[in-house]
């Protein structure tokens, strides 16, 4: 994290005690989840203010045949600017009809 040029973070790592860095993978994942939720909440607020919007959903398998699913929102802001935001990216592991049928 500190290698990204964040001087405040670099100083925190240098001066913090060894057991209180808060840089473990668990903490990093929690921070990413919190920031992602804040971004999604901001997109939802902008879409709710918009008079016109559309949802674009797409999925494609990657090299391991794991389905990657993306959800995008296209909306018009009050100033009549068109905005397109990626709302969600996820992996869908059960995609074939046979796999889905077995889950029933």
pLDDT the model gives residue 38: 92
Could you give the CA distance from residue 87 to residue 74 in angstroms, rounded to a whole number? 10
Q: Please identify which residue in the block is written with the tokens 């990413």.
A: 32
pLDDT the model gives residue 1: 46
Helix (H) or strand (E) holding 61: strand 53-61
Query: What integer is the mean pLDDT of 42-70?
Result: 85
Count of other CB atoms within 10 angstroms of residue 23: 15
Is residue 52 scored above 50 in pLDDT?
yes
Q: Where are the domains of the chain?
A: 1-49, 50-104
Helices assigned H by DSSP within 1-104:
7-15, 25-49, 97-103
pLDDT the model gives residue 93: 54
Helices assigned H by DSSP within 53-96:
none
């Amino acid at each position: 994290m500190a290698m990204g040029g964040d001087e405040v973070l670099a100083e925190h790592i240098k001066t913090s005690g060894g057991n209180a860095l808060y840089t473990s993978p668990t903490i990093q994942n929690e921070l990413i989840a919190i920031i992602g939720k804040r971004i999604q909440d901001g997109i939802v607020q902008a879409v709710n203010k918009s008079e016109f919007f559309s949802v674009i959903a797409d999925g494609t398998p990657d090299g391991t045949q794991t389905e990657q699913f993306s959800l995008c929102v296209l909306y018009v802001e009050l100033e009549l600017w068109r905005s397109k935001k990626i709302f969600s990216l996820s992996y869908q592991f059960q995609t074939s009809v046979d796999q889905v049928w077995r889950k029933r």
